[in-house]
Amino acid sequence: MPKASRRREEPNETAARELALFIENDYDLVGAPNSQGKSIEKNLLAKLKKGTFDLGKSEVAWGYLIEAGAKKYAKEFASPGEWSKIFTRPTRELCASYFAISFYEEYKLGNVGEQTPNARIAEIRKAYIRTYSDSGQTKAYVEWVDTRGNEGRTEGDPHNPHMQALLARAKREGVTVKKETW
C-alpha cells in the first residue's frame, strides 16, 4: 500500500501510560545524574531561561527518551526487536506528549530542577485481577502512591509484561492480589 493512502494508526493510551510509568520508575533512564532524562530536562530548562522553549519541539526531545525506554522495556519483558510493535509510533508520540506537558506544568509550578527527584511508585496499596462476567474480559489493576504522595492506578491485560511486573512487586511487598468476578 502506498504511504499516502495509509491511515494513521491511533495511539494506545494504556500502552503509552504503561511506558511512561516504566520510564518514570527506571533510575538509569531518568533518575541518574547523567541520565538521558536529566540531560533533556537540563536542555529544556536552558531553553526556558533563554525564552526559546517550544512545547511542540520539546515533545521531539522527549521522544528520544521514550524510544530508549521502549527498547529497554522490550529487552526486559519481550524481545528486543518487538519494541516498535509493542509501542507504535503514535503511542510513543503520545507518551512523549505526556512527558512534555508534565515537564512544562511542573516547571510552571516551580517543581523542576536539579534538586527535584523524579516521582516513582513508593508503595503499592492494592492489586486485583477482575473478570467481567458479561464480556469475559479480564483486567488487572494496581493502585499505588508515588514518592510525591500522588495516588494513581495502572490497569491493563494481566498477561502484559508491565502488569505482570507490577503484580509481582505487589506480591513481594506483601499485597494480596485479589481475584474478582463482576
Q: What is the pLDDT of residues 35-73, one digit of tens each?
A: 999 999 999 999 988 889 999 999 999 999 999 999 999
- 77, 108, 139 — which closes off a domain? 108
What pLDDT, on the 0 to 100 scale, is given for residue 119? 65
For residues 14 and 103, membership in a common domain is answered with yes
pLDDT of residue 69: 96
Are residues 96 and 50 both part of a single domain? yes
**Residues 143 and 90 reside in one and the same domain:** no
Asked, for residue 114, whether it belongs to a domain, the answer is: no
pLDDT higher than threshold 60 for residue 181: yes
Contact assessment for residue 63 and residue 96, using Cβ atoms and an 8 Å cutoff: yes
Q: Each residue of 80-100: pLDDT tens digit?
A: 889 999 999 999 999 999 999
Do 65 and 141 belong to one domain? no
Strands 151-156 and 138-146: antiparallel
Joined grid coordinates for residue 119: 516521582
Binned at pLDDT 50, 70 and 90, residue 5 comes out as very low
Question: Is the domain of 99 the same as that of 15?
Answer: yes
In a domain, 3, yes or no: no
- Domain residue limits at 61: 10-108
What is the C-alpha separation between 51 and 18, in angstroms, rounded?
32
Q: Per the structure, how many domains does the chain have?
A: 2
CATH of residue 159's domain is: 2.40.50
pLDDT tens sequence across 103-157 = 998 888 777 764 445 567 888 999 999 998 888 899 999 998 887 778 888 888 8
Same domain, 28 and 60: yes
What pLDDT shows up at residue 146? 81
Residue 23 pLDDT > 60, yes or no?
yes
**pLDDT at residue 115, rounded to an integer:** 45
Integer CA distances (angstroms), 158 to 113, 131, 163, in order: 36, 11, 6
- Where does a domain end: 79, 108, 137? 108
